Amino acid sequence: MNNRRMLTVLFLGVLMGALDIAIVGPALPALRTAFDVDERALTWIFTIYVFFNLLGAPLMSKLSDRYGRRSIYLLDIALFAIGSLGVAMSVNFPMLLACRALQGLGAGGIWPVASAVVGDTFPQEKKGSTLGLIGAVFGLAFIIGPILGGLLLMLSWHWLFLINLPLALLVFVLGAQILPVTRTDVQQPFDFAGLALLAVMLGGLTFGINQLDTSRLGESLASSAVWPYLLMALVAAPLFAWIESRAADPLIRPRLLGNRQLVLANVLSVGAGLGEAAMVFLPALAVAAFGMSESRASFMLLPLVLAISVGSPLGGRLLNSLGSRVIILAGTVLLSAGMLLLGLVGDNLTAFIAANVLIGLGLSSLLGAPIRYIMLNEAPIEDRTVAQGMITISTGVGQLVSGALVGAVAASGGGGVEGYTLSYLFVAGAAALLIILSLGLKSHRQEMAIQPVTAAIA
């Protein structure tokens, strides 16, 4: 019974953090009007949350090892709630971004600390199914997010963030009573150097891409607003790899990148994040293309959400009979086709809905079971948890790059319909590269050949 109550607390906390990614898409058009910003600045509302979410995950995980699961989980909930209140009360755009960063930092720790609680307290035979149940919250968030966003926007955009407060209070009170004060006995030194270099690398890359003017690409790359930041990311990348290869407890296990399948899975996850972030801006395109209200535009995501809810379980069922390569290849083709359709005729209502369905079906194969299936098959048994975490990091990197890219291209194209459709053409080109990469995955026969070995080790 106690485990069931504990699962409820973890489930609600993860849902709260995941919902804030799904619900921000409907909020963007209203926030653009409220704070009078262009498309380039608008993307930071999404991107800064993802950035601090990525940094918060390893930091909060390590703090929970040192100071206990309950205290850090409650800290994460409190940071998220304070950030949510700050966003709703923001009087200017910098304050809004600062509070979104605080939200992201808190939300970044909720999922990994929840996973650690499951690992500490649940019996071995229930850990996998429990983590799967909590992980399914992300899919649930994307199903209810657009609906909830549309309803709350009828009142005001502020309610999209104020809605977090009663849920956060409930999770905090229950968590303080139920969650264990578990901490690890062996304390590994935290990889602060790795985290700092990761922040520099991702921050430089994101800001540099966001400042690009794609209508004058060569001149833009040579400008002081772009090249120093891209150079910073370029210099930080090999330093990060060097630090990680020597860290006692690295953020990323370098040995996991020596396997071709694992490398492909992580690159495909970057592509998944690229597509996932691009769909956040669909309500903004709907407002510009069809002249509809912000609340009604949020409901335009429903075809995409329904496609994901159908495609994810279907892909999981077909995985054992067809193999991951076929499922992922089909998904990348559908994702590319949907993005291309938006880029070419995104201002046509029928084409917009059809593109939503294609993108939803495509993303369901990249965000669902197939890529994580590859990681389970290929990663050494002692690194399987870390390998799953790397997928999350890779997806987040794709979200960062996509958010920055969509904002840069949309702003360069003059904003509005022309700017957003042009940005989806760029995303379609990137998605097309995923088709080529997916061809390099192992065939179903090759995957089946390693199953007995994996089972025997387990």
> CA angle, 227 as apex, 423 and 236 as ends, to 5°?
100
> Which pLDDT value is given to residue 301?
83
Residue 159, in any domain of the structure: yes
C-alpha–C-alpha distance, residues 323 and 226, integer Å: 42
In a domain, 107, yes or no: yes
pLDDT at 22: 72
Q: What is the pLDDT of residue 187?
A: 67
CATH of the domain at 457: 1.20.1250.20
Verify that 293 and 395 share a domain, yes or no.
yes
Low-confidence ranges of the chain (pLDDT < 50): 452-458
Same domain, 102 and 199: no
User: Helix, strand or coil for residue 195?
Assistant: helix
Report phi then psi at 163, rounded to 5: -60, -20
Is residue 75 located within the same domain as residue 148?
yes
Q: Do 53 and 97 belong to one domain?
A: yes
Tokens of 385: 């948890």
User: Is 353 inside any structural domain?
Assistant: yes
Are residues 315 and 270 both part of a single domain? Answer: yes
Say yes or no: 338 and 380 in one domain: yes
Specify the pLDDT at position 35.
92
Q: Tally Cβ neighbours within 10 Å of residue 235.
A: 14
What is the structure's pLDDT at 394? 84
CA 280 to chain centre: 11
- 328 with 401, same domain: the answer is yes
pLDDT of residue 453: 40
256, 386 Cβ separation under 8 angstroms? yes
- Let me know if residue 73 belongs to a domain: yes
Longest dimension (CA), the chain: 63
Task: Spell out the residues 6+ positions from residue 261 whose beta carbon is closer than 8 angstroms to its own.
Answer: 374, 377, 378, 441, 442
Q: What is the pLDDT of residue 455?
A: 38
Inside any domain, residue 170: yes
Q: Which two tokens stand for residue 219?
A: 């001149």
Last residue of a domain, one of 180, 200, 226: 180
Residue 213 lies in a domain: yes
d(CA 207, CA 188): 33
Counted domains in the chain: 3
Write down which residue in 200, 232, 248 finishes a domain. Answer: 248
Question: What distance in Å separates the CA atoms of residue 299 and residue 311, rounded to the nearest whole number?
Answer: 19
Query: What pLDDT was estimated at residue 129?
Result: 60
Q: Are residues 224 and 276 in the same domain?
A: no
Contact predicate 297/286, CB 8 Å = yes
Secondary structure letter of residue 99 according to DSSP:
H
E strand or H helix at 258, and its extent? none
Tokens of 458: 């387990």
- Residue 185 falls inside a structural domain: no
Domain housing 149: 1-180
Look at residue 186 and tell me if it is in a domain: no
Same domain, yes or no, for 262 and 235?
no
Q: Are residues 354 and 260 in the same domain?
A: yes
**Are residues 207 and 163 part of one domain?**
no
**356 and 381, same domain (yes or no):** yes
Domain boundary among 128, 153, 180: 180
pLDDT tens digits for 342-379? 999 999 999 999 999 999 899 888 876 788 778 777 77
